[in-house]
Structure 1
Amino acid sequence: MNRIDRLTAILVQLQGKKIVKAQEIADRYNLSLRTVYRDVKALMEAGVPIGSEAGTGYYIVDGYHLPPVMFNRTEAAALLTGEKLMEKHSDRSNHQQFSNAMQKIRAVLRGSDKDFLESLDDNIAVLRSPRVSTEDQFPNRFLSDIQDGVARQRVLSMEYYSYHSDSVSRREIEPIGIFHMHSSWHLIGYCRLRNDYRDFRADRIKNLHLTDQQFDKSKRMSLQQYITREFKAEHEQPVLIKARFSYDVARYLREQKYYFGVVHEKNEEQYVEMHFMYQQLEYFARWLLMLGNGATVLEPESLKDITRKQIKLLSEHYSC
């Protein structure tokens, strides 16, 4: 990136937030802090009203706006890919908003770039595993209201279906954030009914209303704190696992072995030996059981014990 493009990009970044730290700029463009200071000074000398607060960061003085920036072809293509992902991995509210935004982006593109996007449109697809339709039960259109509640610190009132109890309950939630996992969006919030933090699947909300009640987010943990607490691994350090696979099984592992942290693979005469670094032995044992007698644990001994225990439980289950 040449310096003129970098200065423009930094200016766009400054307009995107109320306060931007110098380190954020340095990390985004792989610059030294010294270069950041020099670039910001150059923008100021060019007449851009940039203010700064020691220990906080830079900001654009209210009232200043950079004229609309034209998207280049690769940026527009990346946004088109994002639209395809949003169509399959978001709810109706967010998908519609993103689609509206893409229409505005297309409107400002040059003619040749519009043709470029049109040629790509039918040649990019995002597929999802088919699911049983639950449209009548769950509208799946509340993400925009949830985001509004998170940003403006407003309480959400909702009717939520619980698989565990097979019932619908009304909840008042102080939302702290959302995240996407296993093809579903999750709302994390402080539940006033349970007096604790809860995880709600957005596609299991039957009805939701954004109330006028405010809450103080400083009294609640952040989304990152919640994720760290709830998804902390069972072991602080991954465990070295050695296992042997028949060739018939090994040829079908493909990306699965990378998911489980394979670090070494050696072909022997009658089998393939693999080494993994993984944290959750219970989960690893369940995976190996799916592979039948085509997989054999070599070490650690604790994994062998867990596997034997799971086999015993299955045997007892089917002996009843």
Structure 2
Amino acid sequence: MNKTDRMLAIVIELQRKGVLRAEDLAAKFETSIRTIYRDVQALSEAGVPVAGAPGVGYSLMEGYFLPPVSFTAEEAVALLIGADFVEMRLDAEYGAKACSSQEKIEAILPENVREETERIRSTIRLLNERGAKTRGQEKETFEQLRQAILRKRRVRFRYSKNLPDPDGYRHSERTVDPYGLVFSQGVWMLVAFCGLRRDIRHFRLSRMNELAVLEDPFRIVPGFRFQDHRPVDDRNVTVRMLVDQAIADRVQESDNFYMESFAPGEEGWLATFRVRRVEDLLQWTLGWGAAVRVLEPESLCERLREEIKKMLGRY
């Protein structure tokens, strides 16, 4: 990064963060503290009102805003594609905001940059096919939860969960404190404090029904930070399967969430998974038919035999 770019970046960082020490800026831009001192001096001489307080750091004087900055074609493409994703995956309100943001970005681009941006965008697509777009009901759930999170209001819903029960699933009513929404492995999940379990839990939006936003306010559990939260990995069951060479590429492309490794062997490809319970892989394994053979654990083999017997009874 040259001096001019770094000085502009310093102003942007101060505008974003408010107050930053020279040490923070030096670490951010991978340069020396002395270089930051010189850059700040140059900014002051250029008329940028940078204030410095010993032991506190640098800040921009109140009321100063950086004039609109220009985008490179690549930066503009990143923003426009991001807006496409928001329109596809979030609720109608954010979808409309994404469209208006695209129009504003395109309007301020110089003609040469706009043409290059259009050329690059023409080579990238976000397919809006069946299953690729968040379903209507899920979008409504997302919008309700987003509003509840912002207002800090509890929500209540019926939740369906696959379990090794005779009917294969179970419904339960949950009242939770919604903390945030996470998009992972193509699935929207709610991170919330569950009143039933008295702990932080994760709920798939696609499994929620009869959602209601309550008027009861809530407080976040002391010490909890949504941005730092990582779910406990409780997948303690190891599953190994032998995959025929003929379908190895398709199995790998399936990008199964539980797959830990996929390596070639003498008799085929060895797939290793970690799951909470063997039922997590039951339907997936059946879908590949005889081209996949379970090596361990025996409990999954037994469940497959039971399921195949049920299938034979129907046919």
TM superposition score normalised by structure 2 = 0.69
- 1:8 shift after superposition: 1.8
Q: State the secondary structure of the residue aligned to 1:252.
A: helix
Between stretches 129-138 and 71-80, larger displacement belongs to 129-138
Structure 1 spans left out of the alignment, 5+ residues = none
- 1:262 shift after superposition: 3.2
- 1:222 shift after superposition: 2.4
- 1:108 shift after superposition: 1.7
Q: C-alpha offsets along residues 50-96 of structure 1, whole Å, 9 cap, x if unaligned?
A: 55786x97654533322221111110011111122122222212222
Counterpart of 1:265 in structure 2 is: 264
Task: Please list, as runs of the form range in 1=range in 2, the aligned pairs for 1:270-285 lying within 5 A after superposition.
Answer: 271-274=267-270, 276=271, 278-280=273-275, 282=278, 283=280
Between stretches 89-98 and 56-65, larger displacement belongs to 56-65
Alpha-carbon distance between aligned partners in 2 of 1:27 and 1:280, rounded to the nearest angstrom: 40
Counterpart of 1:44 in structure 2 is: 40
Contact 2:156 2:211 in 1 (8 A): yes
Contact 1:138 1:205 in 2 (8 A): no
Alpha-carbon distance between aligned partners in 2 of 1:91 and 1:248, rounded to the nearest angstrom: 41
Residue type of the partner of 2:306?
L
Counterpart of 1:292 in structure 2 is: 289
Structure 2 spans left out of the alignment, 5+ residues = 162-169
Alpha-carbon distance between aligned partners in 2 of 1:137 and 1:72, rounded to the nearest angstrom: 33
Q: C-alpha offsets along residues 259-315 of structure 1, whole Å, 9 cap, x if unaligned?
A: 62436325x5xx4343x56433835676444433323455xxxx2423323224325
Residue type of the partner of 2:235?
E
Alpha-carbon distance between aligned partners in 2 of 1:83 and 1:120, rounded to the nearest angstrom: 15
Aligned residues: 294
Q: C-alpha offsets along residues 124-147 of structure 1, whole Å, 9 cap, x if unaligned?
A: 431255259655994753466356
Alpha-carbon distance between aligned partners in 2 of 1:219 and 1:244, rounded to the nearest angstrom: 47
TM superposition score normalised by structure 1 = 0.68
Counterpart of 2:143 in structure 1 is: 141
Counterpart of 1:234 in structure 2 is: 235
CA RMSD of aligned residues (A): 4.4
Counterpart of 1:11 in structure 2 is: 11
Residue type of the partner of 2:251?
L
Alpha-carbon distance between aligned partners in 2 of 1:210 and 1:24, rounded to the nearest angstrom: 43
Alpha-carbon distance between aligned partners in 2 of 1:218 and 1:20, rounded to the nearest angstrom: 29
Counting aligned pairs with the same residue, the percent is 21
- 1:174 shift after superposition: 4.2
